[in-house]
Chain A
């Protein structure tokens, strides 16, 4: 039961309090780039969730079973990026086969998940936090993906409404999106202190 409680806390913490987008500034480029339409944002969020879960678990395993015992930490970044690129390739092949319309609408953004900072960032943060057991790593990676999906969907919803609003000309496009994002982080700061 204690174990379950710990995992639940970790999940809530990564989704609401330590949300990668709002507090760590990770994954900002797709956050600003793909959040124009709600359906696309949701699809992107799911793809990222899949890749981030796979990458988080795999990099942790590689780190603890290969790199650390053999003293190969210097190649850590190269290994991480290879794992992530492989996972993205998998998603790309899967989508092309089973959901061609979704695949077409993503375009260049799909291979660019490889260079989504949220994914590499999570792998690095798991390493930095020194998390020692596999279930927690899995929950944290999955939660990070859910947190990203939530953030990008909220943003897409706001931006669909923003299209109808009368925004001053110099603020149109990226500036107003950034300011909106700032206000969102302010709102999410209200969750700080709920759990560690």
Chain B
């Protein structure tokens, strides 16, 4: 049992580097690909996921001793659904425009694999402190990846970042980056880049 328990340091390192949600675990792909046409929706999405992940991890960690094995997925999804409803209503009340841009992808956080995976892999086994750290580091890792992907796509498709024009005047927008194909190919190349780095570091050590 001793070697299985995670420490807070493991959780912190996992979320930010060794197990970066999208790039390493290949989880939570749907929102990643769908909302990254621009940086603003990507950041909103990342923060909503962070909020839901934090709340659900704390909740699951608190009730981990009451869970029955065959009902756990149902309990996880119901807990998550409750918090996603809160996040959705919050967004709709305070940033109605953003809520419209994100559309059904906010309620789709319910079935975001990252949150369920963390509930299963960490929160249902660890104490509340480790779960909190894990949720925060995973959420931040996810947000960072989303923002990088969104910056690349926004820069190439309209020449702006955060709606501020940054490229020269005669820049010809690359419309394909706004479309699904841009999302898939950019993410694929990002993963390839990360793979290259990790393979090197493995060889070096």
Contact = CB atoms under 8 A, between A and B. Distances in A.
B107 A25 contact: no
Nearest to B72: A111
Interface string B16-30: 000000000011111
Contact of B185 (A82, A85, A178): A178
B107 A77 contact: yes
Interface string A119-144: 11100110010000000000000000
A124 B107 contact: yes
Interface in B102-118: 103-104, 107-108, 110-113, 116
Interface string A50-90: 00000000000000000000000011111011100100000
Contacts of A80: 81
Contacts of A128: 103-104
Given A22-B180, A175-B189, A175-B192, A120 B107 contact: yes
Contacts of B103: 128
A186 B193 CA distance: 23
Interface stretch (B6-14, B41-49, B58-66, B82-90): B82-90
Main secondary structure of the interface of A (DSSP, over half): helix
Interface string A89-120: 00000000000000000000001101111011
Contacts of A29: 26-30, 113
Interface residues of B, number: 44
B158 to A, nearest CB: 19
A163 interface: no
B73 A120 contact: no
Interface size for chain A: under 10, 10 to 19, 20 to 34, or 35 or more residues?
Answer: 35 or more
B27 A77 contact: no
A77 B85 contact: yes
A38 interface: no
A78 B81 contact: yes
A137 B89 CA distance: 26
B103 to A, nearest CB: 7
A85 B77 contact: yes
A81 B179 CA distance: 29
Contact of B29 (A32, A124, A172, A186): A32
Nearest first, the 10 A-B pairs at minimum CB distance are: A182-B184, A178-B188, A124-B104, A28-B29, A179-B188, A182-B185, A175-B192, A25-B33, A25-B34, A175-B191
13 contacts: A26-B30, A33-B26, A77-B110, A78-B81, A80-B81, A81-B110, A121-B104, A124-B108, A172-B195, A175-B191, A182-B184, A185-B181, A189-B181
